[in-house]
Amino acid sequence: MRIGLFGGTFNPIHYGHLRASLEVKEEFGLDKIYLIPSAIPPHKSPRGVVDAKDRFHMIQLAISDQSDFIVSDVELDRPGPSYSIDTVHHFQKILPKDPRFYLILGTDAFYEIDTWKAYKDFFDLVPMIIMLRPGDRFSMAPKRHSYFETFLKTKISEKYSYSEDLSCFIHPEKQSIFIAYITSLDISSTHIRDLIGRGKSIRYLVPDSVADYIVTKGLYL
């Protein structure tokens, strides 16, 4: 089993998250992807972040017809801020030994990883799949001598190098880092919240079920 762990605020979930998940799943032959909304995002001000139960429910609506996508409430049940490292430990503990986990994140999130709790541990524990995020000024092909490689070498370890054969960054002791060249969809939750605030439509940026839920509950007004 290959399992993707995809965390975020999902405030709200949108087609950028959904299409990216599907493409990563297919490209990396993942069997399942867990979408894991954070309860109290450690890096965001709680202002403007709607109740975790609403964000959870919107993910449920968005993935209802995709049985290999699963929404996880692990971070919602945990008291205090949500730390991804605790989530990785949780999955490694509750699921049998054989699945291989992959941490999925966008380039924007990756370039902040050195602010995460115990961030160096991720590189020992799980391979990562980094998705190019449009609008990110560093999202040019993260190969040799790029900002990406420099970041990896200076913040994590000098011994990372790009393997053309394996199409990923490899390290003698640490886990590999894969790059996912997904379809660029320049959609963000920030933009969606902004549109709602200005009374504009969010149709075709999120599934209709999510748009309807937002209207019914009067979220982001």
Residue 35 to residue 71: CA distance in whole angstroms: 5
72 binds ligand ATP (CB under 6 A): no
17 binds ligand ATP (CB under 6 A): yes
25 binds ligand ATP (CB under 6 A): no
Burial of 77 (0-12, 13-18, 19+ CB in 10 A): exposed
113 binds ligand ATP (CB under 6 A): no
Stretch that binds ligand ATP, among 9-17, 121-129, 154-162, 203-211 (CB under 6 A): 9-17
Q: Name the residue whose CB lies closest to ligand ATP.
A: 106
Stretch that binds ligand ATP, among 78-86, 156-164, 185-193, 211-219 (CB under 6 A): 185-193
Residue 79 to residue 87: CA distance in whole angstroms: 13
109 binds ligand ATP (CB under 6 A): yes
142 binds ligand ATP (CB under 6 A): no
Residue 105 to residue 36: CA distance in whole angstroms: 12
Which residue, 83 or 173, has its beta carbon nearer to ligand ATP?
83
Give the H or E element holding residue 105: strand 100-106
Tell me if 165 sits within 8 A of 159, measured CB to CB.
Answer: no
10 binds ligand ATP (CB under 6 A): yes
174 binds ligand ATP (CB under 6 A): no
Residue 135 to residue 22: CA distance in whole angstroms: 20
**Alpha helix stretches (DSSP H) within 159-207:** 189-197
Interacting residues toward ligand ATP by CB under 6 A: 8-11, 16-17, 20, 105-106, 108-109, 131, 133, 185, 187-190
